[in-house]
Every structure is written in C-alpha cells, then in structure tokens.
Structure 1
C-alpha cells in the first residue's frame, strides 16, 4: 500500500471515531491525541564538517553539554591572527604614550650640534670671502656659492632643532587617540572571532533528552540546518484534536482527563491552548453537516506525576 493510500485509510478510520466521540447522545466527548514534549532545534552556525558527536541519541543532557562539534581549524587560525593584530595595536599605543627613548633624544641632539657646526663654518667662510672679494682675490660667483651654502646650512640647523623639540615634547593627543582606536578595533575583532569559534561547538541550550541527530559524523552540514533536536520540559503534555461540536463548550483552563493506551491510570490535566483555526479543510468551504468532521488542535498540561511518561504514546482525552 502506498503512503497516500495509508494516509487516506488512517483518515477514514480517525474521523469517524472523532464524530462518534463527540456525539451528544453518547455522553462524554473525547479527543484523540499523543503525548509530546517541548522541542528545541539547534542549527548549524556554519557550513562545516561534523567532527564530533559526543552524546548519542536518546541520552539525557544538561544545559551546556556539547552535542555537536563542527570543524574549527580555520576559525582557530582567524582568532590567532586577530590576537596578533591586537598585540601589534597595543604595542603601538604603548610606544606612543611613552614617547621617545633617551637614545633617540641623544641622536637628535647630535644632529643639532652637527648642523650648527656646519652653519658656523659656512658663516665664517662667507665673512672671509667677502673681504677677499673687496681685494679682488675671488670672484662674485664664488661669494654667491658661499652665501647659498650658508643659507642651506641654516635650514638644516633649523630642521634639526625642530625635530629635537618634537621628540622632547612627545606624542600629540590626537596620535594617542588614534592608537587607542586601533586597539579598540582589534579587541572587537578578537571578540568577534572568538564568538565565531565558540559557535562551532553546538551546546545544549536547555536540559532534556537528545531526541535526534539528523547528520552523521563526517558529513558537511549547510548553514542553518538542524543538527540536534532536544526534548525539554519537566513533563510531557498532551496534544489532542478536539472535534468541532465540542469546541464551543471549551475554554482555557478547563479540566481534561487523559488516559494512555495499555494502562488504566488517568491523569487530570488542564487545557492551556486551543488553535484558532481548524485542521484539514477550511470551515468556510464545508456545509453544516461536513463541519462536524473538523478538529481543532489543542494542548493539555499534565500534572507532575506524568513526568516519566514516554512521548509519542497515543492518548484519549475526556473533555468536560
């Protein structure tokens, strides 16, 4: 039998039972359903290969337990590179704040002394050649050269003195702020790369039961694909299908008696959610007689003694 024929057969059996269960002549109305728990779906944070599956399906897990490990070699290298950039930015900031070393100041002072000596020599030569020009011992061209050399030496001396003053004064406030901004940017980059690395380790966001691991070890999972499914919550709840004739008389908080197949035990629960839309065919497309076949999805909260009940078990709920 094909899956479609099977579905039609199940529907053919299921709907008459619902219709019979909600018949006012039959007394109490009942709804069929199944036990379920809250589902938490954890998805892949990157397009990567699964390298570890530490917990097997069906085992209990606590919040923070590692469920799936994705390949992280490239991301570890990215984090190491970001940390190196941070170290470089911190060293540059420290250098700017400390200013020049004593050796750098000594070198600048030596350059000033050298430039001053050259300037004084040029000035002495220029004064001597001016006297020689008057006696005709040298030409005007030679004196012009000495004058140019003197002016050049003065410029070199002025430049060396300004460089020494700048070194002694230290870094400007703007330079320090720029270096600090580089450090902050590098810190943010490290934090982002660290988060990306941590995201490659899929951990349980809540305690519960590991219900499913859709992918196998060694498979490459696409970004956003479910990689682990948890069943959480202190106890299961009953998901039932309320027949349309019984829907009007029900309200949130009404008591509902839930019974499991294979046991005589009954659990007194409370109706805590009812869907606003009916299942299957939209109600406005049905006649009055056909509308009795509609069902409304609902959930029933169970008492603490139902905590150990297995999920997936069919149940029968007696409606008030």
Structure 2
C-alpha cells in the first residue's frame, strides 16, 4: 500500500509539472517588470502563432534624449549625472548619461527648450533614476552641466 501511494504521488507530481508547463504556455509572464506600451490584440481576438500581443517598455529602457551645443560638448560624458525638470513632475530628477553621439547633427526642427540652440548639436541619452514616474515623450528641461560639476 505504501509503494502504491508513493507511485500515485510521483504521478501526481508529473501531472502538476505538466499543468504548470501548460499554464506557462497559455498565459506567459513578461520577461521583466514593464509598462504596457501598446496592445495589438484584445481578449477574444485571434493572434497567429509567434505574433506579439503587447508591446512592453521596461523601466530600464526609459531614457531622456536631449541635445547639447557643440561649445558645451566636452562636459558631457557617459557616467556623469544631469538634473532635469518636467511639467507636472513633483520634484527635479536626476539621470545618468548613458550615451553621447560621436557625430554632430543639425538642430532638429522641434526642440522642447526655452532658449535658442546652436545649429550644431550632439545627441545625448541619459537613464533617469525615477524612470517609472516618467511618461515616454514627456518634454523635459535638462540643466546644463558646469565645468565644476
């Protein structure tokens, strides 16, 4: 009777493993904590195999993009921290520069800034410390770095 009960327990564990695998296939989880950026298919709609149903944006991929005049370019290096503000933000934020363009470009036609820009600028990307609180596309004002920072 003990041997038979042990065999039934092994079979039950196998059934549990199969059910967990099937659940994982039918309702997968996101690979990382992220916000839903776009929904391609709603419940009840049919999606072809291997077709994404959602577009996710992980907090680790939220970044600030801003442009720096050529005259100030030497101050901006990966690893440095910039301060920024935005409309509706409770307090100023900080972001660590993750990438600086090696090539200059002409000023884009639309820049969300309060002042005028030089015609030759460099694109800079920075990862904000409070990424979960920022919405993609939100205009920000980045404080210029000083030589003493």
Measured against the shorter chain, the TM-score band is: 0.5 to 0.7
Q: Secondary structure at the match of 2:31?
A: coil
Q: Which runs of 5+ in 1 are unaligned?
A: 1-194, 282-291
Does 250-259 or 307-316 show the bigger shift?
A: 307-316
Tell me the CA shift for residue 316 of structure 1. 0.8
Counterpart in the other structure of 1:249: 75
Residue equivalent to 1:230: 56
Whether 2:101 is the aligned partner of 1:275: answer: yes
Partner of 1:209 in structure 2?
A: 35
Alpha-carbon distance, 1:317 to partner:
0.7
TM-score, reference length from structure 1: 0.29
Query: Any unmatched runs of 5+ in structure 2?
Result: 1-20, 108-117
Rg larger for: 1
Q: Matches of 2:120 and 2:52 in 1, distance apart?
A: 33
Instruction: Flag the structure with higher helix content.
Output: 1
Q: Structure 1 pair 202/298, CA: closer, same or farther in 2 (3 Å)?
A: farther
- What is the aligned length? 116
- On the 8 A contact 2:59/2:131 being kept in 1, the answer is no
Displacement of 1:198 after TM fit? 5.3
Counting only pairs closer than 5 Å after superposition, residues 63-142 of structure 1 correspond to structure 2 as: none
1:201/1:297 CA distance change after superposition, 3 Å? farther
Greater share of strand residues, 1 or 2? 2
Higher RCO (C-alpha 8 Å, min separation 6)? 1
2:117 counterpart of 1:316? no
* Secondary structure at the counterpart of residue 212 of structure 1: strand
State how far apart, in whole Å, the 1-side matches of 2:48 and 2:119 are.
42
